[in-house]
Structure 1
Amino acid sequence: MKICLATVHADARFIPLALLYLKAYLVEKRKLAAEDVQILEFTPRATPEEIAHRVLQGAPGIVGLSCYAWNIKALMPAARRIKSLRPDVLIVLGGPEVGPVARSVLEKCSYVDCIVKSEGELVFTNIVATWKAGGDIAAVKGVCFRHGSLVFETEDAPILHDLNQLASPLRMLDGSPKGRVICIETQRGCVFRCNFCFYNKDLSIRNRRFDLGRVKEELRFWLQQDIDEIYLMDPVFNLHAARAKEICRFIAEHNQRRVMIHTEVWAEFIDDEMARLMQEANFHHLEVGLQTTDANVLAITERRLKLARFIEGIEHLKRHSVPFELQLIYGLPGETRASFRESLNFAASLQPPLLQVFMLMVLPGTELSRKTKALKIEFDPEPPYNIRSHYSMTEEDIAYGEKVSRALAGDGAWTLRLLGREAGVAFADFIDEWIEWTDGKPAAPSAHAQDLAQENIRQFIRHYCARKRIPPAFYEASSAIESRTWTEFAAVGV
């Protein structure tokens, strides 16, 4: 029997690590032939009909779909189409988008047969073995499944304490890795309790680690390949400082090709040595979550922040010129427009290389999703589940946050942030002026949108500098350089 594993990427450069784990376990632990387990990857442009057609070309008996907030709207119609064309195919869903709400998904979607509720490697392979043997899916732990018109749920699957029992996905990728972002896990789960985050919070063991020997083997293999970037997909790469430093030393020693390393870190755990090792290993993009500085919001969302140590960690990164992106979340319960502006001013005062504001998403299975009634949270019922309002923010407040987010992510964002550092300028006030300036500007046809955006920035620089009596030449030059850089990136498809 053949098996097809499929997903739709948000960014097609990233390898499908979850599906590679599934295939590796089926091949190495269950002794299925590698050619009988097909992995299909689709871009966001793929239609449900195209997905269904390609999946069924291989005549699979089981189809596994890897579901996330960014692809569920494409995969569910594809699953419906697959079932209509091949009713005998067993359709199994997995991933954080469906696992925490498995019963409700099955009750709404009659074309789905089974959903893996949590980690997939062992559970999915048990589904495959049971189905091949003609057994009853009810015997498989950790699933929600359909029997006729009824939906049943089995007891939770036991937690895999030793991650090293998982087969390595190292050699399961078909085709050349050139141009791909190679994803590697050194650990799973997170010890922190942030209510807005999912990261294996459904498991009683919050953090498990792969042996360093295995991590080094995978890193050594990929650092020798013709690749440009490795993404260490850990919730907090430096959760265990000594271990993180050892991994950094290993990468620095073996990274002769200067492959770029991308990961998420906790600023409080960064000391001078770690920042230096990251620079030597060529960590080119660190995601650093500040999220908020509001003590009330931190308490409501159970988010930890030791501000003095956070600042120290940021200073270590800057001292060693390690590129990082400082991130805020807008719309957290308990936050107000005023308290967000304080967080924004603080974040800007740290002068990070990149500063981003993301809208709160009320993700299925998170603690926040269970507190919506108590906190009067209203959010979009469809992915990506963006916040609409809550007890301390109106819809108008949320709309303001969306404008701030766009301002910091749009054309000219770097130049605007430089201008916002001028003495006597509060960054949040400066962003408000930019928002007010752009609100009244007409939209341009898509073919001319970038040119119009750049002209708006140039005009705003002249206007703002004249009003504040700031010499504009430096900022006009910065805007021109930034414009040329993004044009060059666009020309090569970056």
Structure 2
Amino acid sequence: MKVVLAALNAKYIHTSLALRYLKAYSQREFDIEIAEYTIKDPVMQVVTDLYLKSPEVLGFSCYIWNIEETIKIIAALKQLKPGLTIVLGGPEVSYDTEYWLRRIPQADFIVMGEGEETFHHLLTEIRGEKRWHEVLGAAYRQGEKLVVNPPRQKLVLDTIPTPHRFAEDVPALPNRVVYFETSRGCPFNCQFCLSSAEVGVRYFDLDRTKRDLEYLVDSGAKLVKFVDRTFNIKRDYAMDIFGHLIKNHGGCTFQFEITADIMRPEVLDFLAGNAPKGLFRFEVGVQSTNEEANRLVERRQNFEKLARTVNKVKEIAAIDQHLDLIAGLPGEDYASFRKTFNDVFALRPEELQLGFLKLLRGTGLRRDAAKYGYVFMEDAPYEMLCNDVLSFDDVIRIKRVEDVLEKYWNAHRLDRTAEYLIRHEFPSAFDFFQEFGDYWEKRGWSRIGHQLEDLFSRLQAFLAERGIAGYETALGLMKLDYFLNHKFKPRKIWWDFTLGKNGQAELLRLVAREPGLLSPELAGTEWNERELHKWAMVEVLPFDLTVYEESGELVPEETLLLVLYGGEGSGGGDGAGARYYSAPLGQVVKGGSLGLGSK
């Protein structure tokens, strides 16, 4: 019996851990093939590929991001092969199961919840006696009747074979995200999350976990994302894994979801003293700093302790942090969300993810949606549209914040500029992103594409029209940020150089002759004028950059900025990365009569 397990992943680089668990559990008795696609693949292309695999049983892993596309594929395949047995599983169909059987008449079975043993039992009955009523955790059709069997007991995790040892996965490991779990379940009861439906936390054997991680690293994996809902809930287990990965990382990066307000000081001290830069990334679900909103969704969180942990990790400087917010929680209006955003942005995470509440099937918040006046999308992803304290107009405006936050802060395109604007020119971080997002939408830019230089020129237009006091300072920082966004000398700029070509040439000639005038670091290098013309960009800023970077003080003094992009004199080559140097212009020219006039 040929079995194909399929999933539509959100992106090509993603992989389906669920399919690999199912195959590992049943492959000794059944011929199972994994077929992965993305939600952007054309439906007919996926249908054709699956049809040509000639499955007798076809299983789909269903989530909120792929269910609608999956339904289209199922409908087409069932028309082409009416005798094909279709099995659905995954969190999207594990709740309101009768609804899904009615909505997807082409589906023969649904596997609910943890699926390894249930799916194996179901395959055994499909091939054998067809005693569907004995398959705990399955739902099926009995003529016109829909039958939902009782749930199956949770598995002892170490009875599940490892999903990480398939030879066919090895060639793609360096270019794909590997999803990995050391435990199942969550100790918390947040009513917007499906993890609240499962009580308790179960762990895989520690030695087995280490062996699997070693195998993945030795096989070329470059990014492993742990899907444990709270990786650090069991301190000794987490410490053991951290220590093992520090010793055996092989250049791989590991990402964890942590609960920051329960992170123990000794764990942070250990990481500070041992974790190399770039080895670990932490994802911290803050969601809201509104205590009433957290109470209403049964979320326990001490923001003071959370902030202390995030700041301590930031001091370590070796671990990037990704902090999550949810707009639309009950009891949190626009003003409160503004405060939540500013509270969390003040921690300066490397990435701040702003998401919107989704009323997921199976969650307590969906059950109580009417209590809080929720209006939400009827189909996946069930995103909230408004509630009794947050209007749809408010939601629209917050989405504009999300848009420019992604483009400018999370993409790290204007770190210095954004920091200056937030500290000196706008009442708060939220106000900057909100005003800019409103301006962006008003100009219709959300409906057209953009290149890197467009992002800078559009910010310049916004700041000029708003009339900020430090416009020239912001413009100078934008120029530096633009230069540093390139690994190679940029061919295009979005402003008019302060100096004409003659002035730039004179300065490059002077730097080539006496590099120490600009920076002691350049004194021992051997840049010649030809190399500088090839590898350098030069501009004049209206303030002393060195003083500003060291103290935050703005000293109005014309300053020469030189940005180098590799080259022979630097000892580097193409793409060696941008490095910059600055010094007061008067110090560099030494009162000489250089041709620094305008164009």
Corresponding residue number in structure 2 for 1:26: 26
* SS of alignment partner, residue 437 of structure 2: helix
User: Residue 128 of structure 1: which of 103, 114, 123 is its match?
Assistant: 123
Does residue 10 (structure 1) correspond to residue 7 (structure 2)? The answer is no
In the alignment, the residues of structure 2 paired with residue 250 and residue 65 of structure 1 have an alpha-carbon distance, to the nearest angstrom, of: 35
Shift of 1:337: 0.3
Contact 1:412 1:479 in 2 (8 A): no
Corresponding residue number in structure 2 for 1:50: 45
CA-to-aligned-CA distance 1:417-473 (integer Å, 9 cap, x gap): 423441474222222321232232133885656543332023334556743567225
Corresponding residue number in structure 1 for 2:459: 457
User: Residue 69 of structure 2: which of 67, 74, 79 is its match?
Assistant: 74
Shift of 1:289: 1.1
CA-to-aligned-CA distance 1:45-72 (integer Å, 9 cap, x gap): 2233222222222222211100111111
Shift of 1:486: 12
In the alignment, the residues of structure 2 paired with residue 481 and residue 289 of structure 1 have an alpha-carbon distance, to the nearest angstrom, of: 33
Change (3 A) 1:178 1:436: closer
Task: Give the length in aligned residue pairs.
Answer: 479
Between 1:422-431 and 1:311-320, the stretch displaced more is: 422-431
In the alignment, the residues of structure 2 paired with residue 222 and residue 9 of structure 1 have an alpha-carbon distance, to the nearest angstrom, of: 21
Shift of 1:39: 0.3
Corresponding residue number in structure 2 for 1:396: 393
1:228-247 to 2 correspondences below 5 Å: 228-247=222-241
Contact 1:249 1:281 in 2 (8 A): no
User: Residue 259 of structure 1: which of 252, 261, 268 is its match?
Assistant: 252
Contact 1:258 1:282 in 2 (8 A): no
User: Residue 187 of structure 2: which of 163, 188, 191 is its match?
Assistant: 191
Change (3 A) 1:373 1:447: closer
Change (3 A) 1:366 1:153: same
User: Residue 159 of structure 2: which of 165, 172, 181 is its match?
Assistant: 165
Which stretches of structure 1, 4 residues or longer, exceed 6 Å deviation after superposition? Answer: 485-488
Contact 2:290 2:332 in 1 (8 A): yes
1:406-445 to 2 correspondences below 5 Å: 406-411=403-408, 414=412, 415=414, 417-423=418-424, 425-443=427-445
Change (3 A) 1:408 1:444: closer
Please say which structure displays the higher CA radius of gyration. Answer: 2
Contact 1:335 1:392 in 2 (8 A): yes
CA-to-aligned-CA distance 1:303-346 (integer Å, 9 cap, x gap): 11112211111122101111011211111111100000111111
Change (3 A) 1:406 1:6: same
Shift of 1:180: 1.2
Change (3 A) 1:462 1:286: farther
Contact 2:5 2:58 in 1 (8 A): yes
* SS of alignment partner, residue 174 of structure 1: helix
In the alignment, the residues of structure 1 paired with residue 43 and residue 61 of structure 2 have an alpha-carbon distance, to the nearest angstrom, of: 14
Corresponding residue number in structure 1 for 2:208: 214
Between 1:116-125 and 1:170-179, the stretch displaced more is: 170-179
For residue 350 of structure 1, what is the amino acid of its counterpart? Answer: L
Q: Give RMSD over aligned pairs.
A: 2.3
Contact 1:359 1:405 in 2 (8 A): no
Return 5+ residue gaps in structure 1 as ranges.
Answer: 489-494
Change (3 A) 1:79 1:436: closer
User: Residue 148 of structure 1: which of 143, 147, 154 is its match?
Assistant: 143
Q: Work out which structure has the larger RCO, using CA pairs closer than 8 Å and 6 or more positions apart in sequence.
A: 1
Does residue 112 (structure 1) correspond to residue 107 (structure 2)? The answer is yes
Alignment TM-score, normalising by the size of structure 2? 0.76
Change (3 A) 1:369 1:232: same
Corresponding residue number in structure 1 for 2:176: 180
Contact 1:420 1:426 in 2 (8 A): no
Change (3 A) 1:487 1:147: farther
* SS of alignment partner, residue 74 of structure 1: helix
Change (3 A) 1:468 1:115: same
* SS of alignment partner, residue 401 of structure 1: helix
In the alignment, the residues of structure 1 paired with residue 242 and residue 467 of structure 2 have an alpha-carbon distance, to the nearest angstrom, of: 44
Shift of 1:148: 2.2
For residue 310 of structure 2, what is the amino acid of its counterpart? Answer: I
Shift of 1:90: 1.2
Percent of paired sites with the same residue? 25
Return 5+ residue gaps in structure 2 as ranges.
Answer: 491-599
Does residue 139 (structure 1) correspond to residue 134 (structure 2)? The answer is yes
Corresponding residue number in structure 1 for 2:340: 343
Between 1:434-443 and 1:375-384, the stretch displaced more is: 434-443
Between 1:328-337 and 1:473-482, the stretch displaced more is: 473-482
Change (3 A) 1:99 1:417: farther
In the alignment, the residues of structure 2 paired with residue 90 and residue 431 of structure 1 have an alpha-carbon distance, to the nearest angstrom, of: 51
* SS of alignment partner, residue 243 of structure 2: helix
Shift of 1:165: 0.7
Change (3 A) 1:19 1:360: same
For residue 309 of structure 2, what is the amino acid of its counterpart? Answer: G
In the alignment, the residues of structure 2 paired with residue 444 and residue 287 of structure 1 have an alpha-carbon distance, to the nearest angstrom, of: 28
1:82-121 to 2 correspondences below 5 Å: 82-121=77-116
